[in-house]
Amino acid sequence: MTDKANAEMAKFWNGEGGQKWVGREDRLEASLQPFGQCAIDAAMISGDERGLDIGFGCGETTIQLAAELGPGGHVHGLDISTTMVEAAQNRAKRSAVKNISFECADAQTSALPENHYDFVFSRFGVMFFDDPVTAFKNIYRSLKPGGRLVFMCWAGRDDNAWVRLPLEVVANYISVPALPPSGTPGPFSLSDETRVKSILNEAGFCDVAVEPFQTPFVLGADVDEAVSYLMELSPTGGAIRLADPDGDVRASIADELAALLDSHNSESGITMDASGLLVTARKV
């Protein structure tokens, strides 16, 4: 491990990415809630357990986990973004949950307390490790014997219409990056079940299980909000940032995305199919 581990992700989430995410805090938390709830249900937490929430976004999952525990329980949130930590702390203050804490740190490199946690949880926060085996070994050490690991990660890019269809639009105007080689950090780095099991087994975990989870993903309350999200924060936005097209091209992309999204209007907002993987494992 080096101090440069996950440096690009830290830079993004402590800068533009974190600021834009917090600006959409309520919308994004609502959109991701079904994924988080699926993982929370699978964690089967109760009583006075201690838990760790990795990559907690704006803190909603950490608050939900803490609310499930008894008065002697506690959940500690870990995220690489100071922007997210501040947002989570503010969110926690607005809630009635007190058995909670947050820290700006990297789960791959931080000296986590050994044999400390009953469970480790993450909703889309473990796909960006430079060295996932090393990161999950660190997480493994932090669990008590018999402790549980539960996380939600994205299934493949082509399995997620909310990513695939907008990228097809963008590809009409700019060069869309090919999927990175297997093992490269990114939102879809853990989308292969065989690879996930291999990483976790090498890190020491047993009883590794991977189950698909599908649900509609709400991109925005209306077309304008959904277009803004796609162009700034989603994988579509990443492709646009990388190509850095001029204003006219951006406007054309936005117009075509709006036309696409208009056909995906529902009572819940602008929705497209999404697919994740629920991963569970246990420390020996």
**pLDDT per position as a tens digit, 173-222:** 999 988 777 778 889 999 999 999 999 999 999 999 999 999 999 999 99
Set out the domains of the chain in order of their start, with CATH numbers.
Answer: 7-156+180-216+274-282 (3.40.50.150)
Does residue 29 register a pLDDT over 80? yes
Q: How far is CA 203 from CA 2, 128, 139, 166, in A?
A: 18, 16, 9, 36
The arithmetic mean of pLDDT across residues 152-179, rounded, is 94
Assess contact for 104 and 55: CB atoms under 8 A.
no
Q: What is the helix (H) or strand (E) element at residue 151, kind and residue range? A: strand 143-154
The b/e string for 99-122 (b: 16+ C-beta within 10 A; e otherwise) is bbebebbbbbbeebeeeebbbbbb
Query: Vertex 158, ends 153 and 163: CA angle to 5°?
Result: 75
The mean predicted confidence, pLDDT, of the chain is 93
Residue 169 is encoded by which pair of tokens? 């639009």
**What whole-number distance in Å separates Cα of residue 247 and Cα of residue 22?**
25
pLDDT on residue 117: 98
Q: Which amino acid is at 257?
A: L
Residue 10 dihedral angles phi and psi, to the nearest 5°: -60, -40
Helix (H, G, I), strand (E, B) or coil at 74: strand
pTM of the model: 0.93
Q: How confident is the model at residue 6 (pLDDT cuts 50, 70, 90)?
A: low
**pLDDT per position as a tens digit, 227-267:** 999 998 899 998 999 999 999 999 999 999 999 999 999 99
**pLDDT per position as a tens digit, 188-202:** 999 999 999 999 999
Non-local CB neighbours of 17 within 8 Å, separated by 6+ positions:
81, 233
Helix (H, G, I), strand (E, B) or coil at 70: coil
Residues 256, 260, 265, 270: is their CA dihedral positive or negative? negative
pLDDT, greater one: 152 or 1 = 152
**pLDDT per position as a tens digit, 69-104:** 988 999 999 999 999 999 999 999 999 899 999 999
